[in-house]
């Protein structure tokens, strides 16, 4: 998808940027092009071609095991997690595991049925880029990343629950 714009979090600030990655759907033939976002299975099967295709990226479906991506970390710059429909919440766990358990520090992107009312949760589980569904207003959507000032529970951003971050004294009974 050329000429597409995405939302990226850079130093915690949301920006709308041009995106140069090309998404290869399941079954689409990948012949070693660079800046390609390819299915996890394709990347695992053709791992030796990744260095020549830099920058390389993989995307995970809801049923892909994030642990399998770990072997590719050194050869890729982007991991995307696919949301086939916005109500399918498996991708939130995939993201949280990639960040907190497997230590992925690179760009983590939500793709598929990505809508503004889910952006805040996506940010919290570690996504830092968002390919909003193409028919939606990307400028307006950015506002939803800050629907809430803070959170109770830990996840990825922030990792700690409020009770470990905020002095109980400042959370006194009102």
Partner 1 sequence: MYRYTEFDQRMVDERVAQYRDQVARYLRGELTDDEFRPLRLRNGLYLQRHAPMLRLAIPYGLLSARQMRMLAHVARTWDRGYGHFTTRQNIQFNWPRLEDSPDILQALATVEMHAIQTSGNAVRNITTDPLAGVAPDEQVDPRPYCELLRQWSTFHPEFSYLPRKFKIALTGARDVDRAATAMHDIGLYLKRDGAGAVVVDVLAGGGMGRTPVVGTIIRRDLPWQHVLSYCEAILRLYNRYGRRDNLFKARIKILVRALGVEQFTREVDTEFAQLEGGAATATEAELARIAAGFEAPPYRDLPADSQELREQLATHPGFARWHARNVSAHRVPGYAAVTLSLKRSGTAPGDLDADRMDAVADLAERFSFAELRVTHEQNLVLADVAQSELFALWNELRALGLATPNIGLLTDIVCCPGGDFCSLANAKSLPIAQAIQERFDDADYVDDLGDLTLNMSGCINSCGHHHVGNIGILGVDKKGAEFYQITLGGDVGPDPASTRVGSVIGPSFSAEQVPSVIAAILDQYVGLRQPEERFVETLTRVGLAPFKTAAYTIPGVAPAESESLEHA
Site residues (CB under 8 A) for partner 1? 86-90, 92-94, 96, 101, 115, 117-118, 120-122, 124-125, 144, 147-155, 159-164, 166, 168, 171-174
Q: Report the C-alpha gap between 168 and 15 in whole angstroms.
A: 34
Q: Which of 61, 77, 60, 70 is nearest to 19 (CA)?
A: 77
Q: Give the Cα separation of 37 and 133 in Å (integer).
A: 17
- Cβ atoms 121, 110 nearer than 8 A: no
Q: Which is nearer to partner 1, 51 or 84 (CB)?
A: 84
In the chain, the N- to C-terminal Cα span, in Å, equals 52
| Alpha carbon distance 152, 114 (integer Å) | 24
Q: Tell me whether residue 134 or residue 163 sits nearer to partner 1 (CB atom).
A: 163
Q: Which is nearer to partner 1, 36 or 122 (CB)?
A: 122
Three-class SS state of 14: strand
Task: Report, in Å, the least distance between residue 1 CB and partner 1.
Answer: 22
Least Å distance, CB 78 to partner 1, is 21
| Residue closer to partner 1 (CB basis): 56 or 98 | 98
| Closest to partner 1 by CB, 21 or 121 | 121
Minimal distance, residue 51 CB to partner 1, in Å:
31
CB of 136 to partner 1, least distance (A): 9
Shortest separation between residue 65's beta carbon and partner 1, angstroms: 9
What is the DSSP pairing of strand 22-23 with strand 36-39?
Answer: parallel
């Amino acid at each position: 998808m050329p000429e597409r714009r995405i939302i990226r979090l850079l130093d915690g600030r949301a920006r709308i940027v041009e995106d140069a990655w090309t998404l290869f759907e399941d079954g689409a033939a990948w012949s070693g092009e660079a800046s390609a976002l390819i299915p996890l299975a394709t990347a695992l099967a053709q791992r030796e071609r990744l260095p020549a295709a830099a920058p390389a990226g993989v995307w995970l479906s809801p049923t892909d095991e994030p642990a399998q991506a770990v072997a590719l970390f050194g050869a890729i710059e982007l991991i995307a997690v696919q949301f086939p429909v916005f109500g399918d919440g498996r991708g939130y766990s995939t993201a949280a595991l990639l960040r907190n358990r497997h230590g992925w520090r690179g760009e983590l992107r939500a793709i598929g049925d990505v809508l503004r009312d889910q952006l805040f949760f996506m940010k919290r589980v570690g996504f830092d880029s968002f390919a909003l569904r193409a028919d939606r207003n990307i400028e307006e959507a950015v506002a939803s990343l800050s629907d809430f000032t803070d959170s109770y529970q830990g996840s990825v951003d922030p990792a700690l629950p409020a009770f470990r971050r905020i002095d109980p004294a400042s959370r006194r009974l009102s």
